[in-house]
Structure 1
Amino acid sequence: MYRQDIMPKMIEEFGYKSPMQVPKLQKVVFNVGVGESLTNSNAIESVVRMISTISGQKPVVTKARNSLAGFKIREGMSIGVMATLRSKRMYEFVDRLINVALPRIRDFRGIPTKSFDGRGNYSLGINEQVIFPEIDYAQIDKLRSFQVTVVTSATSDQEALRLLQLMGFPFIQNQNRQN
């Protein structure tokens, strides 16, 4: 699909001289902050199970780099969970996200185009993990939100937006950008 459909359209629209200049997906990163791990010791294990079920691989538990007294965090404490998907797993997840998970969101009208970081990467916050069919509603202890970051090799937000549109991401149409 990428080489037959997306690459020729991107070369035509942006005037690339070489097919190697066409941006592509590099990785998809999941990140879940688990602030309640201070009081609930099972929270980290629950989130690890959730992310491994959704992503298909074992996530990494992130630790605090330094102490923050305001948040009662000590250096080395487990404060989150992350997983990085590349190659085949990344494309399978993106396909499931676009075609299965996002349409299951209540009152879904599309994803905003404002969440690009200026360097061609797109971040998407997901409020409930139950939009993924792999998650059994009866086995979750709490509704959790997490971030999904799609990292591309694009140099600008316009290139990344067009790449993700051609891949099938359901962006909100006719949205005025304020940047």
Structure 2
Amino acid sequence: MAKAQRGAPTQKKKKEIGFPYKFRRLQEKPLRRSESDRPRLLGKYEQNVRPWLLKEFGYKNPFEVPRVEKVVLNIGLGEALKTPKLLEQAFESLGNITGQRPVVTRAKKSIATFKLREGMKIGCMVTLRGPRMWEFLDRLLTVALPRTRDFRGVSRKAFDGRGNYTLGIRELLIFPEVDIEKLDKVPGMNICVHTSAKTDEEGRALLTQLGVPFRAA
């Protein structure tokens, strides 16, 4: 085969667009919400939780009262290296749960022991803020967690020392949006609730008042 001539236009590599899924609750443009459409949990925080925290901890400035800033959902799939279909199924499930398009996560380092190369797809994640964040937390506390088998509450010790809390979900089937018939393997998920609290005590008080069912011990 003859070599390409110098100065000849080279073919550009097509940009990878990811998985072509359209989620039923995904909105391309932000919706204008009225007062009646505000998330229920946000109203509870403003009317009950924030005044209680202000009195309990004696904050001098109302802006010091802890609040939930964002919620990060992450699914890690080491099996996706051999079975890419599992990543596509997890991607679609996470999008249906959150109503927001996930981002595919890639390996940052190469590890020969696990046959992992830098840049390989190993999972997906979503970062929720604003109304979607409050709506997801409401569904998590009132619908998903009570569907967990033999549920006795969540751990009180899963804080990082700065008021942020991480919750591990073993099976995505606790969310009604997930269709088990479309999954070859049921994945788990990590949910990290980022707060503006400066200590674990303040973060735990915030989440307790919002309705997080912590275990007694």
Q: What TM-score do you get using the length of structure 1 for normalisation?
A: 0.95
The answer to whether residue 152 in structure 2 is matched with residue 109 in structure 1 is: yes
Q: Which amino acid aligns with 2:209?
A: L
Identity of aligned residues (%): 51
Deviation readout 1:79-110 (Å, 9 max, x if unpaired): 11111000010000000000000000011011
Aligned residue-pair number: 174
Q: Which amino acid aligns with 1:132?
A: F
8 Å contact 2:153–2:213 — kept in the other structure?
A: yes
Question: Which position in structure 2 is the counterpart of 1:45?
Answer: 88
The answer to whether residue 48 in structure 2 is matched with residue 2 in structure 1 is: no
Q: Specify which of 45, 51, 54 is matched with residue 97 of structure 2.
A: 54
Deviation readout 1:28-84 (Å, 9 max, x if unpaired): 001111101111021221111011011110110011112111111111111111110
CA distance in 2, matches of 1:46, 1:20: 41
Question: Which position in structure 1 is the counterpart of 2:62?
Answer: 19
Question: Which position in structure 1 is the counterpart of 2:79?
Answer: 36
Q: Unpaired runs of 5+ in structure 1?
A: none
SS of the aligned residue for 2:124 comes to: strand
The answer to whether residue 166 in structure 2 is matched with residue 87 in structure 1 is: no
Alignment of 1:85-164 (within 5 A): 85-164=128-207
Q: Unpaired runs of 5+ in structure 2?
A: 1-43
CA distance in 2, matches of 1:66, 1:125: 24
CA distance in 2, matches of 1:160, 1:61: 29
Q: CA RMSD in A?
A: 0.8
Question: Which position in structure 2 is the counterpart of 1:167?
Answer: 210
8 Å contact 2:93–2:177 — kept in the other structure?
A: no
Q: What TM-score do you get using the length of structure 2 for normalisation?
A: 0.79
Q: Which amino acid aligns with 1:85?
A: L
Structure 1 stretches of 4+ moved >2 Å? none
Q: Which amino acid aligns with 1:71?
A: F
CA distance in 2, matches of 1:50, 1:136: 8
